[in-house]
Amino acid sequence: MKNIIRKIVYIIAPPIIYLIMRFIWFSSKKRFNFITPITNHQHICVCWHNELLMSPQAYRSIHKKQPSFAIISQHFDGNIIAKVLSYLNINSLRGSTSRGASSVLRQSFRAVKDGQEILITPDGPRGPKYSMSDGAIGLALRSKKPIFIINYKVNKFWKLRSWDSFIIPKPFSKIEFYIQSISIDGLELEEAKKILKIKMLEYSES
């Protein structure tokens, strides 16, 4: 019975979530603030888990045709997220820091070598909130690619009582996106993690 319910949820939930996402997107007033110049070079892209509703749409509006993969957990909710992202032409690599980590990082590096961009939530899929896993940093250091950071602030929103305090902008709100690119080439892993966390927290909803 549980499997049947999950199959039904998997069929019904993604298109509903996608329609809600797009309604919020198109009904809201959006402004993009480019903190640093953004080049057409290939990036490793990051956003916080609680900003996952709008950040992929912002990414796709900037990189309209860039072949992309997102690293998505192997949990059931990851199935939902992967399906929703597919509507934005963002493919998925399944795994996380806890499940399938080494495999998904190998796949990610191959994808980067093939010209794909990789999207990662450093604190996903289970937190703690605003924690910094090794995945994005390790991939950027190994591939020598800059990191593309997407944050946003919104004037009207709901905040869920989840581990990440997930943010859902209200329709017809004002959303300020903050986009920046940083290079961590040559840094040690822990130093790079500290720098990236500071940069990602500068323009995040607390």
In a domain, 113, yes or no: yes
Give the DSSP per-residue string, 109-174.
HHHHHTT-EEEE-TTTTT--TT---SHHHHHHHHHT--EEEEEEEESSEEE-SSTT--EEEPTT-E
State pLDDT tens for residues 169-183: 999 999 999 999 999
In a domain, 194, yes or no: yes
State pLDDT tens for residues 28-55: 999 999 999 887 789 999 999 999 999 9
In a domain, 206, yes or no: no
Question: Of 118, 6, 25, which is closest to residue 63 (Cα–Cα)?
Answer: 118
The total domain count for the chain is: 1
State pLDDT tens for residues 86-136: 999 999 998 765 555 678 888 999 999 999 999 999 998 888 999 999 999
Q: What per-residue confidence (pLDDT) applies to 106?
A: 87
Q: What per-residue confidence (pLDDT) applies to 113?
A: 92
pLDDT reading at 80 higher than 60:
yes
In a domain, 147, yes or no: yes
Mean pLDDT of 185-191: 95
Q: What per-residue confidence (pLDDT) applies to 158?
A: 97
In a domain, 82, yes or no: yes
In a domain, 156, yes or no: yes
Q: How far apart are CA 145 and CA 96, in angstroms?
A: 20
Identify the weakest region by mean pLDDT among 31-35, 73-77, 79-83.
73-77
In a domain, 13, yes or no: yes
Mean pLDDT of 60-83: 92
Q: Determine the structural domain holding residue 83 and report its residue range.
A: 2-201
In a domain, 61, yes or no: yes
